Structure 1
Amino acid sequence: MKHLKAIVLVAAIALAGGGLWVWWQHERIHPSTDDAYLKANVLTIAPQVGGRVSEVAVAENAHVSAGDLLFTIDAAELEATVRSAQANLDRARQQTTAAITDLSAASANVDSARAALSEAQDAYGRTEKLFTMGDVPQAARDQAAMTRDQAQAAFDSANAALAASREQAGAPGDDNPAVRAAEAQLTLAQINLNHARVTAPVSGWIANLDVRPGALVSPNAPLFSLVEDGDWWIDANFKETDLERLRPGQPVNIDIDMYPGVTLTGTLQSLGAGAGAVFSLLPPQNASGNWVKVTQRFPVRIAIDTRPDDPDLQLRVGASTTVTVDTSGLDTRK
């Protein structure tokens, strides 16, 4: 009887030891953590122009598609700005046309002054010869010289007026700097007017909606969030002792706490370059006499390959999950 008890005890110890060994081997080949959370891209929705909200077209937790209207801002002032910019553009074009007309007139004046100067110079030359021969008096020579000098002054003045007209006219048509500046102001005013209608940049769910019709909003001031329904992933924090067997591309099983019995599949994408504590706001300082070694955890990103079959089982950002990585492929390659 005593021998039987001893045999049973040894068998129980051996069975427990074998069970522990099998469990340890499974945990080594299939590292797991419940320090894992569901993530998605969360966009902050903010208006690009300020004003009073005239309409809110969405509700909290509602699903929207890319391009759907979220809210609108009263556009009366923005429309007035567009009209003012259009008037400035029309005025700039009119001024450019008038400047070009003045330029043509100034150019004609230069041609006329050049012809008058040439004629006065020729007349002075003839009078100078006649004066040398004694055929005309000194007064005639002086009169011809004065006429020539006056023609030269008129020509110089016409050239100066032409240069001023060219500077004022600038480039012709829409290449004129003043016209380009007015066009840019009009374009900016039209862009701001378009921004009075705020639409969804991507499809997803509305979250933290805190805006009502009549509220005054400022440019670039966050109003609510949009949880994108495209890419989903898991940010899992594994113990540093598990990292030895983790490799990108390994398959992962994902259990979501809010949906018991639902298991999704995923793929290990990347391993973090540093422990989570390193990037915290206040990193721990271990230079103390009471230091205790703590196993560090490193972030691992896992892409979700499948979605729940039931459309009512919506994925939600921040949900707690448990992930298990299958690292058996490492042993197979060996």
Structure 2
Amino acid sequence: MEDSATSTPKTSTPVKKKKRGRVVSILFIILLIVGALLWGGFQLFGRLNYVYEYDARVGGTLIIVSSRVSGWVTKRAVEQGSEIKKGQLLVQIDSRESTLKVQHYDVKLQGVKAKIDRLAAERAMVERQINSRHDTLESEFQAAEAATQALKAQRKLAMADFERSQSLLERKIIARQTYDKDNMELQRLEGEVAEALAKQKAARAKLEEVEADRERLTVLDQQLSILKSQKNEYLVLKEQQHLDLRDRTILSIIDGVVDETFVEKGEYVNPGQRLILIHDPLDIWVDANIKETQIRRVKRGQTVLISVDAYPDKEFKGTVKAVGNTTTGKFALLPNPNPSGNFTKITQRIPVRIAVEQQKTMLRPGMLVEVKIIVDPIALSSFFRSK
């Protein structure tokens, strides 16, 4: 009896353990199903409300600073990683020869300016002399013309007296002496008129000679024009040399950082040679390549959540700025004409640019990022049809 009483509890213990294990298994399965449903619901919600893309990276305007002139590098004022300000010196190229050429053109300009001043003074003097002679001869001509007119009037009166005396002499009213006197007066006035006309003609000839002297002013004007053209040529050459001189002092055109340097002090550079690579850390964006099956849901102005591999605990916000009009495959260097006839359909990608605000220069061009574009939710039927 004691043996049977003690055997009953021993058989009931395995049964309880078996039931307990079955309950744990059922609860575990239920938890797995609930977890799978939650995960599936979360994934479905994300697919309906977001467009994900992992093929994305930070972009920026990388400026290659090149040389416009040739020469020896006498100074490189920055190093890789240096922060720079707009107008700060980057590279200095030997400028001694350019400085001497500028001084050479300064001397040339001074010589031409002296010639111009001398010719201008000579022209002014010649013009004053010509104007003075012209005024004098003009007065003499006018005086000769007035004297001629007066003598012509006297001759006309003497002619009338002579004709009257001749008529009276024929009628023997006057004496021969009176006729001869009037005749002599007329002859005298004829001579004076002729002399006055000669003086008037001489005065006119001198005036014409003075006017001919004005051709000398024309010659001087031409010489001045040639010198002024030469001066302008030297000014252009000097300005060109000034430009060459300024190009030898290479300054930064932006506030930014130095990404890479390509020259060292003492190297000889040629026009167009790369010297330094810089960029503005505030002028950045994100370029994402979105699948063509999802591009219809992407619109300008949509909010974008950005996660960066370098900062896994930091989330950035951006805005869709532009949606490309051509797939990335069209920009490939080697086109794929598919001459064999075998075709494998590959989903194409379309570039999308996302504006993002910089935060403490954390984002740098080339960094890999993941983007999540918040889009308008789509219906389940459309979602499964797209899949």
Please show how residues 3-42 of structure 1 align to structure 2 within 5 Å. Answer: 19-20=39-40, 22-42=42-62
- 1:315 aligned to 2:363? yes
Please show how residues 68-107 of structure 1 align to structure 2 within 5 Å. Answer: 68-107=88-127
Higher mean displacement: 73-82 or 15-24: 15-24
Letter in 2 for 1:135: G
Aligned equivalents of 2:29, 2:377: Cα separation in 1: 38
Please show how residues 1-334 of structure 1 align to structure 2 within 5 Å. Answer: 19-20=39-40, 22-115=42-135, 117-118=137-138, 119=140, 126=148, 134-135=190-191, 147=202, 151=206, 154-170=209-225, 178-285=230-337, 289-307=341-359, 314-328=362-376
RMSD value over aligned CA atoms? 3.8
Gaps of at least 5 residues in structure 2 are: 1-24, 156-186, 380-387
Aligned equivalents of 1:288, 1:305: Cα separation in 2: 48
Higher mean displacement: 83-92 or 117-126: 117-126
Per-residue deviation, residues 184-220 of structure 1 (Å, max 9, x unmatched): 4434433432332212111222233121112222233
Aligned equivalents of 1:306, 1:218: Cα separation in 2: 36
Q: Offset at 1:42?
A: 0.5
Per-residue deviation, residues 286-330 of structure 1 (Å, max 9, x unmatched): 57622222211000011123526xx7xx43321221111122578
Q: 1:220 to 1:102 in 2, by over 3 A?
A: farther
Q: Give percent identity, aligned residues only.
A: 23
Preserved contact between residue 49 and residue 377 of structure 2 (Cα < 8 Å):
no
Q: Report the 3-state secondary structure (helix = DSSP H, G, I; strand = E; otherwise coil) of the residue aligned with 1:261.
A: strand
Aligned equivalents of 2:32, 2:285: Cα separation in 1: 44
Q: Offset at 1:81?
A: 1.9
Aligned equivalents of 1:287, 1:66: Cα separation in 2: 53
Q: Offset at 1:39?
A: 0.8
Q: Offset at 1:53?
A: 1.0
Aligned equivalents of 1:177, 1:326: Cα separation in 2: 68
Q: Report the 3-state secondary structure (helix = DSSP H, G, I; strand = E; otherwise coil) of the residue aligned with 2:325.
A: coil
Larger Rg: 2
Gaps of at least 5 residues in structure 1 are: none
For normalisation by structure 2, the TM-score amounts to 0.68
Letter in 2 for 1:31: V
Q: Report the 3-state secondary structure (helix = DSSP H, G, I; strand = E; otherwise coil) of the residue aligned with 1:249.
A: coil
Q: Report the 3-state secondary structure (helix = DSSP H, G, I; strand = E; otherwise coil) of the residue aligned with 1:281.
A: coil
Preserved contact between residue 48 and residue 377 of structure 2 (Cα < 8 Å):
no
Higher helix share: 2
Q: Report the 3-state secondary structure (helix = DSSP H, G, I; strand = E; otherwise coil) of the residue aligned with 2:253.
A: coil
Aligned equivalents of 1:158, 1:283: Cα separation in 2: 80
Tell me how many residue pairs correspond in the alignment: 317
Preserved contact between residue 281 and residue 364 of structure 2 (Cα < 8 Å):
no
Q: 1:317 to 1:15 in 2, by over 3 A?
A: closer
Preserved contact between residue 92 and residue 182 of structure 1 (Cα < 8 Å):
no
Q: Offset at 1:82?
A: 1.9
